[in-house]
Amino acid sequence: MPAPDYDLVVIGSGPAGEKGAAQAGYFGKRVALVERADHLGGAGINTGTVPSKTLRETALYFSGLRQRGLYGIDYSLKDGLTVAEFMHREHIVVEAQRALIARNLDRHKVDVIRGSASLLDAHTVRVTLSAGGTRDLTAGVILIATGSAPHHPAGVPWGHPRIHDSDTILQLDRIPTSMAVVGGGVIGIEYASIFTALGVAVTLIESRARLVPFVEGAIAQRLQQHLAGLGLRFVLDTRVERIVAGDGGVALTLQGGERVETDVGLWAAGRQSNVEGLGLEAIGVTLGTRGLVEVNEHYQTAVPNVYAAGDVIGFPALASTSMEQARVAMVHAFDLRYKERVSPVLPLAVYTVPEIGMVGLTTEQCAERGIPCLVGRAGYDKSARGQIIGDTDGMLLLVFAPADKRLLGVHILGELASELIHIGAAVLAKRGTIDEFIDAVYNFPSLSDSYKYAAYDGLGVLARATGPR
């Protein structure tokens, strides 16, 4: 049997594909990466993570929302702002990230092959080349990192210029006057808050009774209250029964008969894995709901030399975890003895306005698992830095065990929550107690010292719960 062309063929250049390819290349493996899109980076760079987070910052800048708490200014979107102006920063950031990915792959001597891939067998990838023709690549190991795409439920008039998913919403030709967002998960609430910050009249429709159910209840409730104060209308615990899109707008009929009429509609109904045409099932790879590739703890599929990582395998479907999954997969595939597991402590962020950071258990999860817990709280309104920056709605919660004060979870709403959460994650990773925040010294003024005051509050809660000792 002839030697394979490559040690590794990676399909997809998103966070998992890029880092998996670079990891193997770093250790001297011969690597090829197949990408069918015009640009490297996958959804994380081109249609999802980076664009939406850049748009969030742009919305905050143009709306002046950050300044309202400082100076009492209350103004909406600048008159005459065009989509080109609104998207300008997003284009700059995306181009810079694409260039970084290209340089990283080149530095690790990864051959980038443009085209659509399918598996002929467990060791052969056929590429229908973008330039024409086909090319067969043989490899000892294959990594599936094709990501995911917005799920398109039946009954929605997809293709109509007023109907959008999380990809096409970035292609708007104008800022709408009103918008209906269907889905109160991460993507839905992020875009709903961004457009609300711009002064767009947004109605968010969610079939469940609460938003982002994996988020700590007190945080989700406070976020909803904050966004309602900015003008975002919530319609919860109901479904859309009928959608009509026309030249004049979008009309949605809800359960119970309510009719919602808006300029455009955004559907954020989850995602589905990009596995169509890969031929995975034909070679023995097992697929689950919405095409999710089933893997073991090493990110191996049912075919031992075929691995999968990132959104294509499902939850948590974050760029950060996708990168780590791919690295761990390649360490196992080539017996590198380097990074053998993904950390069990996974900080999460929801880039709403204001943003959410979370790590560890929520109080709801503690109750479900029968784990005793108490909560220490600190509000940004009690922080000098919170007052300085005008964020007085922010809050930080510490969930901890009453028996030994061990930290169980951290939940933050407010400015820089996605950054601050890593302080709590570090303590959680080493199974520390809330005393670590009390012992630590934080800059003053800073938002970080909210950890200290939440810990002090937690000690007070503990004293009241247990009485004198």
Summarised one tens digit per residue, pLDDT across range 16-37 is: 999 999 999 999 999 999 999 9
Rounded CA separation 421/440 (Å): 16
How does DSSP classify residue 2?
Answer: P
Q: Could you give the C-alpha distances from 11 to 63, 131, 243, 442, in angstroms and in order? A: 40, 17, 37, 45
Does 71 have pLDDT greater than 50? no
Instruction: Let me know how long the chain is.
Output: 469
pLDDT the model gives residue 401: 98
pLDDT the model gives residue 306: 97
Q: Which residue reads 């690295």 in tokens?
A: 327
CATH of domain 163-269: 3.50.50.60
- Do 163-269 and 354-466 agree at the fold level? no
pTM given for the model? 0.90
The CATH number of 6-150+272-333, from 3.50.50.60, 1.10.1740.10, 3.90.960.10, 3.40.50.2000, is: 3.50.50.60
Strand (E) positions, 162-255? 163-164, 178-182, 201-206, 233-236, 240-246, 249-254
Amino acid at 351: Y
Q: Per-domain residue ranges for the chain?
A: 6-150+272-333, 163-269, 354-466
pLDDT the model gives residue 70: 46
Rounded CA separation 268/151 (Å): 8
- The mean pLDDT of 264-278, rounded to a whole number, is 93
Does 220 have pLDDT greater than 80? yes
Fold of 354-466: Enolase-like; domain 1 (3.30.390)
pLDDT the model gives residue 389: 86
Model confidence band, residue 72 (pLDDT cutoffs 50, 70, 90): very low
pLDDT the model gives residue 326: 97
